[in-house]
């Protein structure tokens, strides 16, 4: 019988080929950025399974055969997309509400754990993937080192990271006005390569990928901002919210035909690193 993600902080089993590994070691949770507060609306606001499939399609060509661990699995949309493409996937996340959603898609293949303390033995998995997670883990270098620990020789770390970019339009311009509220990101292309080198991972490839296409209306974006779905808005002080965010929301709702979706193609950096064999 499979356990739900909320029943404990370890996997019942991790499968690798035809062998089964029982994972008994429990590791402490630490406080990175958790998405508990937005779990119920996350898929609706972030593109759901279709976006997950598009991200999975970008990652899949870079993966080697064997089990893939997604760190920051969230609601499981990317992992589900990878599984549809034939990749066996397990996942971890620090947010129990998000894991409840992931469990609906992946069953007992998910567990609650911190990116910096993975509940897996050394050399267990063929791939570790991060999708827009590395800037949220609290210590990116530690998360990359932990990924390197659980990778088998010849295994790969594949990450979609950095600030997504899209061609300028009225929605992008609105988001640009919120850019000063975003803290500096550690997951730059150079930052990830440096963290990988320190962890004993060699670069394989780094490029911009057309990660996903999404149709969003100004009204939908305004609602997402008001609900503080982007993590950088979670702790904005009231006076800054009033002076900076409220005018952006009002401007979005004042655009012509605010309920008409605008199709955007967002691109992000994709970096692939490999553990020495």
Letter string b/e over residues 218-246, b meaning 16 or more CB atoms within 10 A of that residue's CB: bbbbbbbbeebbbbebeeeeeeeeeeebe
| Cβ partners under 8 Å of residue 31, min gap 6 | 138
The CA–CA distances, whole Å, from 158 to 15, 20, 48, 161, 193 equal 20, 24, 21, 10, 12
How many residues would you count in the chain? 277
| Cβ partners under 8 Å of residue 128, min gap 6 | 68, 69, 70, 71, 147, 150, 151, 155, 156, 157, 158
| Cβ partners under 8 Å of residue 189, min gap 6 | 162, 206, 269, 271
pLDDT of residue 214: 82
pLDDT of residue 26: 33
Single out the residue of 224, 219, 206, 225 nearest to residue 272, CA to CA: 206
pLDDT of residue 48: 56
Residue 160 DSSP SS3: strand
Give the pLDDT of the chain (277 residues) as one tens digit per residue: 223 333 233 344 333 332 222 222 333 333 344 555 554 555 555 545 678 888 899 999 999 999 999 999 988 999 999 999 999 999 999 888 888 888 888 888 999 999 999 999 999 999 999 999 999 898 999 999 999 999 999 999 999 999 889 999 999 999 999 999 998 999 999 999 999 999 999 999 999 986 678 889 999 999 999 988 888 898 999 999 999 999 999 999 999 999 999 999 889 999 999 999 7
**Contact indicator for 162, 187 with CB cutoff of 8 Å:** yes
Rounded Cα gap, residues 110 and 113, in angstroms: 9
Which tokens go with 25?
Answer: 């070691």
Rounded Cα gap, residues 27 and 205, in angstroms: 32
Rounded Cα gap, residues 209 and 192, in angstroms: 16
**β-strands 68-71, 125-131 pairing:** parallel
Q: Domains (ranges, CATH) in the chain? A: 5-166+184-213+268-275 (3.40.50.150)
Residue 7 DSSP SS3: helix
């Amino acid at each position: 019988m499979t356990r739900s993600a909320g029943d404990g902080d370890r996997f019942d089993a991790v499968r690798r080929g035809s062998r089964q590994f029982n994972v008994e070691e429990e590791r402490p949770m630490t406080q990175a950025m958790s998405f508990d507060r937005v779990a119920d609306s996350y898929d609706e606001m972030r593109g759901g399974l279709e976006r997950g499939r598009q991200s999975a399609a970008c990652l899949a060509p870079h993966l080697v055969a064997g089990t893939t661990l997604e760190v920051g699995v969230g609601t499981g949309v990317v992992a589900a997309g990878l599984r549809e493409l034939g990749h066996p996937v397990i996942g971890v996340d620090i947010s129990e509400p998000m894991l409840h959603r992931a469990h609906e898609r992946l069953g007992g293949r998910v567990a609650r754990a911190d990116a910096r303390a993975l509940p897996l033995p050394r050399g267990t998995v063929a791939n570790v993937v991060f999708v827009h997670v590395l800037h949220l883990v609290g210590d990116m270098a530690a998360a990359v080192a932990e990924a390197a620990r659980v990778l088998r020789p010849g295994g790969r770390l594949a990450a979609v990271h950095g600030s997504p970019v899209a061609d300028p339009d009225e929605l992008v311009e609105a988001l640009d006005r919120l850019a000063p509220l975003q803290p500096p990101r550690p997951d730059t292309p150079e930052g990830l390569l440096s963290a990988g080198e320190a962890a004993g991972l060699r670069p394989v490839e780094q490029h911009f990928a057309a990660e996903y296409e999404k149709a969003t209306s100004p009204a939908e974006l305004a609602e997402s901002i008001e609900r503080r779905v982007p993590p950088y808005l979670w702790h904005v002080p009231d006076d800054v919210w009033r002076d900076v965010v409220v005018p952006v929301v009002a401007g979005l709702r004042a655009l012509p035909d605010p309920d008409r979706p605008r199709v955007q193609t967002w691109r992000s950096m994709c970096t692939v690193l490999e553990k020495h064999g």
